[in-house]
Amino acid sequence: MRYLTDRKRAVGMGSAKSGVHHFWTMKVQSVALLILIPLFVFTYGPMLGAPHDAVLDYFSRPFPAIVAALTMIVGFKHFADGAQVLIEDYVHGTAQKVVIILVTCLSYAAMVTGLFAIARIAL
């Protein structure tokens, strides 16, 4: 005899197991990046190839530093969440878990390295 009805077994057990949480997180990040990316491109872009002194001066100003820091945080989290979807489609089993963990760790490492560098230049 089965104790669970078919419906009860299905409730809350969509393929994600967490409803639309991942989707909604990425949607919020994408709207944030819609604002941040143009700001970052037109602050960071002109500094590529600029002399070291000019770069240090520029990113010690509040606006470019804050834009760059926010882009690091939201951008790398968005990458981690998006790459997870890619991995879930093409890698399966234990390898899937391992690769997702590695990509997530890499994203956080890059994010905080960027934040550290920006903080050091700005402060």
Q: Binding residues for another protein, per CB under 8 A?
A: 2, 4, 9, 27, 30-31, 33-34, 37, 41-42, 44-46, 48-49, 52, 55-56, 59, 68, 72, 75-76, 79, 82-83, 86, 110, 113-114, 116-118, 120-121
Based on CB atoms, which residue is closest to another protein, 68 or 100? 68
Query: For 53, phi and psi rounded to 5 degrees?
Result: -60, -45
- Minimum CB separation of residue 94 from another protein in Å reads 19
CB 74: neighbour CB atoms within 10 A?
20
Length of the chain counted residue by residue: 123
- Minimum CB separation of residue 42 from another protein in Å reads 7
- In 3D space, the residue among 79, 72, 83 whose CA is nearest the CA of residue 36 turns out to be 72
- Minimum CB separation of residue 97 from another protein in Å reads 19
Residue 58's identity, in one-letter code, is Y
Based on CB atoms, which residue is closest to another protein, 68 or 70? 68
- In 3D space, the residue among 122, 77, 73 whose CA is nearest the CA of residue 104 turns out to be 77
